[in-house]
Amino acid sequence: MKTVQLNNFEIGGSKLTIFAGPCVIENMDMLRTCAAKLKEICLELDINYIFKASFDKANRSSITSYRGPGLKDGLKMLEEIKKEFDLPVVTDFHEPDQAQEVARVADVLQIPAFLCRQTDMLTSAAKTGKIVNIKKGQFLSPYQMESLAKKVLDSDNDKILITERGTSFGYNNLVVDMRAIQIIQEMGYPVVFDATHSVQLPGGRGESSGGERKFVPLLARSAVAAGARALFFEIHPCPDCAKCDGDNMIALSDAYGLFKSLKELFELTKNL
């Protein structure tokens, strides 16, 4: 299976990779708290770790919802985390013109699920030469991801990851079809499973999304058993106090136990 090289490790290889951090940048202290603890956990468990946080959450249910500090200040904060903790960083962007500036800091550029079909988003990310993580839209089948990845390939970039994050099922609900992991891997791309967005209840609170945090471990274990070699988690010191997506984030205090169980399962199943 194809892997993607990032610094001194491979995504999709023989070691588990975890993308983790808060949904959105709230303040520098919170970023430092998450980065320090998550790096410590992943070093102890011998897991590849990539720090995640968004500078802007443009797709909010309400115009009054917190979006983040914005491009300039957000990238500055992510750059500080990257240097202070010697960590690779992934963040999403929302407009093609942002790609080059985001690439100055981020090691992985993430295409938001609702924008995954936008050709200019994919080609602008590809042209930075950085790793491109395409989040599968909730409205797409896994088979449809091949044509989106080809847009990146045709822009002379083969450093492609595809993230599975559930599929719309009726109103305000998502389901995960674990067959998607194998289907996408057979296309030749490493799969990242987003265990926290997959438990979202989109628009479930009317002016904000809800979520069912208790199912995150179940879905993460299922994805590892199905062959996923990279996982994505949104994590917060106090999810119930988070400014967005708190219902589906896991608590920082729960990260060690969850990651340990996933590492053990990964070692049991990676050669099946």
Q: Measured between alpha carbons, how far apart are the two ends of the chain, in Å?
A: 13
Output DSSP code: residue 241: G
Half-sphere exposure of 26 (CA within 13 A, CB side): 21
* pLDDT score recorded for residue 208: 58
CATH T-level fold of 4-269: TIM Barrel (3.20.20)
* pLDDT score recorded for residue 145: 98
What does the chain come to in residues? Answer: 272
Low-confidence residues in the chain, pLDDT < 50: none
Domain ranges for the chain, please list them.
4-269
* pLDDT score recorded for residue 60: 75
* pLDDT score recorded for residue 204: 58
Instruction: Express each pLDDT in 135-157 by its tens digit.
Output: 999 999 999 999 999 999 999 99
Measure the CA dihedral 79/85/86/90, to 10°: -50
